[in-house]
Structure 1
Amino acid sequence: MNASETGPVAAEMLRRLNSAISPASIQLVDDSEQHRGHGGYNPSGESHFSLQIESPAFAGKNRVQRQRMIYAAIGDLMESRVHALSIRATAPGEE
């Protein structure tokens, strides 16, 4: 995902993830519209995301450790702006 094609929340998430985790590949999709009428939905969008990220930083780490790294990188956005984040985090060579 190219940061110039995203909204401000997604662009900031990508910036933080790139800085903290140095991914080999990253794809962040705004799924907010699929959650219209559900809890946490924000009419301006950028409240629900799906993340696929691959990074050497995840090698030797379990799923929970990887998610903690991601949440630490995203920081306060998870508390203030992002309601839900679906994560698929892998190390190079993993499926």
Structure 2
Amino acid sequence: MDRKQIEQLIEAGLPGSVAMVKGDDGQHFEAEVLCPAFAGKSMVEQHRMVYATLGERMGKEIHALALRTRAPKAPCA
């Protein structure tokens, strides 16, 4: 599993999201995920949404994933 694969899985599972993943050892990663669906959700709910996109890969191919999640800011009127 590499960072690009993780980005693709997250972005496919959370339409409209942008994922930026770092990590070079193949097991430990950091991800920043920007997703409109996160609006109004707690950080725990946001993280669960990301983990759901990765399914059983968490704890297996992906040993650790540090997350930073947020919804995009509304455009100025």
Q: Same fold (TM over 0.5)?
A: yes
- 2:57 aligned with 1:28: no
Amino acid of the structure 1 residue aligned with 2:22: V
Listed as ranges, the gaps of 5+ residues in structure 1 are 1-7, 33-44
For residues 17-56 of structure 1, the aligned pairs below 5 Å read 17-22=10-15, 23=17, 25-30=18-23, 45-56=25-36
| 1:81 alignment counterpart | 61
| 1:67 alignment counterpart | 47
How far apart are 1:67 and its partner, in Å? Answer: 0.6
Amino acid of the structure 1 residue aligned with 2:33: I
Listed as ranges, the gaps of 5+ residues in structure 2 are none
- SS of 1:16 mapped into structure 2: helix
- 2:4 aligned with 1:11: yes
State the superposition RMSD in angstroms: 1.7
Amino acid of the structure 1 residue aligned with 2:43: R
In 2: Cα distance, 1:16 partner to 1:26 partner: 9
- Pick the structure with greater CA Rg: 1
Q: Please give the TM-score of this superposition, normalised by the length of structure 1.
A: 0.68
Question: Hey, which bits of structure 1, 4+ residues long, moved more than 4 A?
Answer: none
| 1:42 alignment counterpart | none
Identity %: 29
In 2: Cα distance, 1:26 partner to 1:77 partner: 17
In 1: Cα distance, 2:32 partner to 2:49 partner: 14
